[in-house]
Amino acid sequence: MDLKIALVRFAMPTLVCVPLMVSDIDLAIADAARAKVAGADVVEFRVDPLAHQLAPTAEEFAALVGRLVEGSMLPAIVTCRIEGEGGQYGGDDATRAGWLRELMRFAGMSGHANAAPMYIDLEGARLAASVDLTAFAASLGGSETRIVLSSHDFSGRPSDLTRRLLGLQDPRGSIAKIVYRARSLRDSLEILDIPNQMDRPTIALGMGEFGLMTRILAPKFGGLLTFASLGEGQSTAPGQPTIDELMNLYRFRSIGRDTKVYGVIGWPVSHSKSPATHNAWFEAAEHDGVYLPLPVAASEDADTTYASFKATLLELIDHPHLNFAGASVTIPFKEHLARLAEEQGWTITKPVSITKAANTLVVSGGGVSVMNTDWEGVLKPLHAEVGRLAGRRVLVLGAGGAARAAAAAMAFDGAHVIVSNRSPHRAEKLVAELTPREAVAGFGSLGVVAWSARGDTDAEVVVNATPMGMATGDAPNESPMTEAMLAVKRPVVFDTVYVPRETPLLKLAKGAGCRVIEGTAMFAAQASAQFEAWVGRPPPRV
Ligand code: NAP
């Protein structure tokens, strides 16, 4: 690799570019000013919508785009993207080359020196095929304006990726840009490695939700630039974060080559609250880490889902430059993580060996361990509200993953736990699997009660571990207990559902005079235990 390029690549921080679809010049100039205030370094003026609407002459195009670039408060990339690569320009290359030549002539006229864009983006495949674009590129000669040679595939990883990358190293371009839809996190890891294989500064990004990590981690891998939209609904490619998310949620400017990478692995994960929580804690603790959504697709077929989870996780752990340091693992992979840990001989904690489910991965000093912090998530808020559970009578509603963690944690803390579930066989299975075969000191007991009799127990504590009342679930307005069921014994009511904070169950419980524990307390306690496992100290107050 050319030493000068290597130095430039690693000495320069990755640029943040806001792409703007231009159909109104004044609006685009105002948006460029907003992009600067939001922290962008560059704007990309996508002028193909303008060209599509106006079908201008070369002179009209040059005057409009020249005024746009002159009025921009940020250096500009000018792009007239063709239809075949996600744009709106349907004309021929001779016309496009004529427009761009005229733009450069306009910028050469006295009083218009600021009309020259920093970069002009041309598709590598079209430059290779067009004498007009080739002549235009050659005409730039000694000017400051440089060519970005680009390649886009909205459908997936191009089958001719290597040939495309070679094409983008054409001497007529100064910068290479390759963007395609990532079909998995493994595609994204391949994309992140591209800038290091190129002979020039390179933009390599993945589209779609699997590609988000390439957009955020570009600075770790020497990517020249990342794109971020000015706001919701203003992105030019699927999966682009907003500039607010990039700067404030993911703290893009603090990401460097040594930054440790964490994330939440699940399906789906796009609405997870964990990135906001952990990134805010990392910032307050001055920990050099970034926390991302890490989606792994799950299918109906359990073997395929496990294979895909395993391959992805091992690739994340083994990547030589990612500094992957840990993950929260959520639905539907908690049992997969426990299985993989056993298969790989990783260290597991007691809650994992009891529940056969894990929600936390820690990669540190060449070793890997897995934990189940849902256990602490249940016990910590309960201890704070009612003290130790030994001898207490507890009713758990549900028999899924959350119920499993709650029932086991409380029974091993000494509580007498009764499980009630809509499908009784799942409650019976849970109790049979979690009850120790031999006597265990401090263990309370586990039993089952019919769903129809859940209101008739004398429980002192009720834990809801069904999704009833969850805003994004199937039964957002339902409660698993009626007010009448709660009014007699007035148990402490703990709802694990945390969106909304005050669920229908908690509202009824308060009406019945019960003390309540919100699901956010469980979320905070399990997240806090994860932070401590990764960083070595409790999270700071934020
Ligand atoms: P899961 O494995 O899908 O289990 C859901 C359980 O709820 C099943 O036993 C199911 O019964 C029961 N259920 C579902 N809909 C029901 C309905 N309409 N009426 C009666 N029972 C119903 O889910 P999970 O992973 O255990 O999660 C359950 C809830 O826990 C989630 O909604 C989440 O909000 C909460 N959670 C909170 C935290 C936190 O940090 N606060 C962490 C984890 C989970 P069947 O067996 O009959 O289908």
Q: What is the C-alpha R_g of the chain?
A: 28
At 283-329, the pLDDT tens digits run: 999 999 999 999 999 999 999 999 999 999 999 999 999 999 999 99
**How many A from CA of 455 to the centre of ligand 1?**
18
Q: In what order do the strands lie in the sheet with 360-364?
A: 289-295, 260-266, 324-329, 360-364, 367-371, 347-348
Nearest CA among 326, 316, 400 for reference residue 365: 326
Quick one: pLDDT band at residue 7, thresholds 50, 70, 90?
A: very low
61 lines ligand 1 (CB under 6 A): no
Residue 2 has pLDDT above 70, yes or no: no
Residues 6+ apart with CB under 8 A from 354: 408, 412, 434
Helix (H, G, I), strand (E, B) or coil at 287: coil
Q: Is 525 in the pocket of ligand 1 (CB under 6 A)?
A: no
The C-alpha atoms of residue 50 and residue 60 are separated, in whole angstroms, by: 11
Q: Atom of ligand 1 at shortest distance to CA of 473?
A: 32
- Whether residue 117 is preceded by a cis peptide bond, meaning omega within 30 degrees of 0, is no
DSSP E strands in 138-208: the ranges are 146-153, 175-181, 202-207
Ligand 1 atom closest to the CA of 478, numbered from 1:
18
Q: 324-337 as b/e, with b when 16 or more CB fall inside 10 Å? A: bbbbbbbeebbbbb
**Distance from Cα 43 to the centre of ligand 1, integer Å:** 45
Is 153 a residue whose pLDDT tops 80? yes
- Residue 541 is given by DSSP the state P
CA 68 to CA 60: how far, in whole Å? 12
Question: Which ligand 1 atom is at minimum distance from the Cα of 467?
Answer: 32
User: What average pLDDT does the structure give for the chain?
Assistant: 95
498 Cβ inside 6 Å of ligand 1: yes
Compute the distance from residue 470 Cα to the ligand 1 centre, in Å. 9
Question: How confident is residue 4, by pLDDT bands cut at 50, 70 and 90?
Answer: very low
In which element (H, E) is residue 522 found? Answer: helix 519-535
144: closest CA among 163, 176, 179, 119? 119
- Residue found under tokens 């499980």: 419
What is the crossing angle of helices 519-535 and 374-386, to 10°?
Answer: 120
User: In terms of C-beta density within 10 A (0-12 exposed, 13-18 middle, 19 or more buried), how is residue 343 classed?
Assistant: exposed
- For residue 343, the one-letter residue type is E
Tens-place pLDDT, residues 200-254: 999 999 999 999 999 999 999 999 999 999 998 888 889 999 999 999 999 999 9
Task: Let me know if 33 is exposed, middle or buried by CB neighbors in 10 A (0-12, 13-18, 19+).
Answer: middle
- Residue 6 binned pLDDT confidence (cut-offs 50, 70, 90): very low
Out of 496, 502, 506, 528, give the residue to mutate to test ligand 1, the one with the largest number of ligand atoms within 8 Å of its CB: 496
What residue owns the CA closest to ligand 1's atom 4?
A: 400
Q: Ligand 1 atom closest to Cα of 519? A: 41
**Residue 527: CB within 6 Å of ligand 1?**
no
Measuring from atom 46 of ligand 1, which residue has the nearest CA? 423
Q: Closest ligand 1 atom, CA of 475?
A: 18
Which letter does DSSP use for residue 501 in this model? S
State the DSSP code for 240.
Answer: P
How far, in Å, are 26, 68, 381 from residue 48 at the CA level? Answer: 16, 14, 56
Query: Dihedrals φ, ψ of 406, to 5°?
Result: -65, -45
Residue partners of 209: CB distance under 8 A and separation at least 6: 238, 239, 270, 293, 295
Query: What span, in angstroms and rounded, lies between the C-alpha atoms of 172 and 145?
Result: 12
Ligand 1 pocket, residue 399 CB under 6 Å = yes
Q: Is 397 in the pocket of ligand 1 (CB under 6 A)?
A: no
Q: What is the pLDDT of residue 441?
A: 95
Confidence of residue 270 (pLDDT cuts 50, 70, 90): confident
Task: Tell me the best of 448, 466, 472, 498 to mutate to test the pocket of ligand 1, counting ligand atoms within 8 Å of each CB and taking the most.
Answer: 466
403 lines ligand 1 (CB under 6 A): yes
The pair of three-digit structure tokens given for residue 458, joined into one six-digit string: 């004398």
The Cα 244–Cα 228 span in angstroms is: 8
Nearest-atom index, ligand 1, CA of 399? 9
Buried/exposed 154-189: b ≥16 CB within 10 Å, e otherwise: eeebbeebeebbebbebebbebbbbbbbbbbbbbbb
- The secondary element (H helix, E strand) that includes residue 343 is helix 334-344
pLDDT tens column, 435-494: 999 999 999 999 999 999 999 999 999 999 999 999 988 999 999 999 999 999 999 999
Answer whether 73's CB lies under 8 Å from 32's CB: yes
pLDDT digits (tens, 9 = 90+) for 24-71: 999 999 999 999 999 999 999 999 999 999 999 999 999 999 999 999
Specify whether the CB–CB gap between 349 and 455 falls below 8 A: no
Band (342; pLDDT cuts 50, 70, 90): very high
Catalytic residue numbers read 152, 177, 334, 374
Identify the three-state secondary structure at position 329. strand
Residues 6+ apart with CB under 8 A from 278: 262, 289, 291, 328, 527, 530, 531
Residue 510 C-alpha from the chain's centroid: 36
Cα-to-centroid distance, 268 and ligand 1 (Å): 15
Task: Answer whether 429 contacts ligand 1 (Cβ < 6 A).
Answer: no
- pLDDT-based confidence at 542, cuts 50/70/90? confident
Residue 421 Cβ < 6 Å to ligand 1: yes
Q: Is 504 in the pocket of ligand 1 (CB under 6 A)?
A: no
Cis peptide leading into residue 219 (ω within 30°): no
**In 3-state terms, what secondary structure has residue 92?**
coil
pLDDT at 255: 98
